[in-house]
Amino acid sequence: MLEITTTQKARKFLLFGLFGAFLTLIGDLLIGYIKFPEGAEMPEGYFAAALMLPIWRPILGGMIGFLGVSLEFPGLMAIYPLLKRKMPKGAAFYKLSMYVYLAVAGGAVHLPCGVFMWLYHSVTDAAGREVGYHIALQYVLYFILPVTIVFYVFFAGSSIVQFLAIIKGYTPFPKWYALFNLLLVSVFCNAFRNIGNYAIINGIGTSNKSLGAIVMFIALFIGFGKYVKQEDLMFQFTEKRQQFFHS
């Protein structure tokens, strides 16, 4: 596990995560920055986009997004030491969720979304749209959907833990910092879809989590410099030393 013992180290991890989030944003936009056919709603809009986009875009977008999500992990773990002292069970769930995020979000969700679009496009070119749609839909239902459900359980759960920890005053951050939450910002960005069917709007909706991560990492980077003290991060290591000497 990543050991975060100083605010300087936490801020370095947040910058690392921020870099990963920008990579993920590029991957998201490569996949989702497109105007859907008139009247097409999700997920039909993405099926249509798979045939409209150049084949290289979902391939490159999936690969870049996979790398970016993996690099977000250190930044996501930066807040864990602040949760452990006053919210040990919630912190344990948060840590588990971050490892699930690392294992599932990129390789089992983000990359397969690019694969789905490539698969639909390629099979349609080779065997016709009906066959391509049938195979691509099965791929979504049998592979992407089950893993996405698992991902969202831990994604939403960890976001709720973070929100409650801040709103209840369990961390050094002011309570209004609870708004800088990956789930809340993601929902906000996804709500832009209600504006209409435009490439930029679909791009923002597709990029809701990467944009959420960017906002959250920037806010936490500032917050760790302004509100977090050294002793707030040293608790877990003091506790470990006490356990060692009393064993």
8 A C-beta contact, residue 187 and residue 163: no
Q: What is the C-alpha to C-alpha distance for residues 4 and 11, in angstroms, rounded to an integer?
A: 10
What do you get for the CA distance between the two ends of the chain, in Å?
Answer: 22
- The 3-state DSSP class for residue 36 equals coil
Q: Which one, of 177, 181, 217, lies nearest residue 10 by Cα?
A: 217
Q: Which amino acid is at 229?
A: K
Tens place of pLDDT for every residue, the chain, 247 residues? 567 778 899 999 999 999 999 999 999 999 999 999 988 878 889 999 999 999 999 999 999 999 999 999 999 999 999 998 889 999 999 999 999 998 888 877 888 999 999 999 999 999 999 999 999 999 999 999 999 999 999 999 999 999 999 999 999 999 999 999 999 999 999 999 999 999 999 999 999 999 999 999 999 999 999 999 877 787 554 454 444 334 4
